[in-house]
Amino acid sequence: MLNICRQAFITNSQKVGTRCLGSIVPIPNPPDLPLENEPILGYTKGSKERAELEKVLDEMASECTEVPLVIGDKEIKTDLCKYQVMVHNCRFS
């Protein structure tokens, strides 16, 4: 019994090793890509990035997103759209 298990292990480990080595594509000279981090934004009062963020948040707050009721595989949708509480912002709840 031990011999059969050992033989199966050796056979399977050889297959795994072959697959791993076969999936590696060697690139002799990989291209040099210019890498650069994004600038760190401060979002201080009066800054451009904060104004843009507040504008988008206000737009999202004024919209009513449709959230269907899902039961099993079925989505139930209605034309009724109601106020949705923003749980991440206690000023709106």
Q: CA-based Rg of the chain, rounded to a whole angstrom?
A: 28
Among candidate residues 61, 56, 50, the one with its CA nearest the CA of residue 83: 61
pLDDT at residue number 62: 86
Q: Taking 70 as the threshold, does the pLDDT of residue 61 lie above it?
A: yes
CA–CA gap between residue 30 and residue 86 (Å, rounded): 47
List pLDDT tens digits, range 30-58.
Answer: 788 899 999 999 999 999 999 999 999 89
Side chain identity at 51, as an amino acid letter? Answer: A
Identify which has the larger pLDDT, 74 or 89. 74
pLDDT at residue number 20: 52
CA–CA gap between residue 79 and residue 31 (Å, rounded): 53
Residue with token string 């990989």: 30
Identify which has the larger pLDDT, 74 or 15. 74
Contacts 24+ apart (CB under 8 A), 54-61: 61/86, 61/92
Rounded to two decimals, the pTM is 0.47
User: How crowded is the C-beta side of 13, counted as CA atoms within 13 Å?
Assistant: 6
pLDDT at residue number 5: 60
What's the mean pLDDT in 12-34?
A: 65
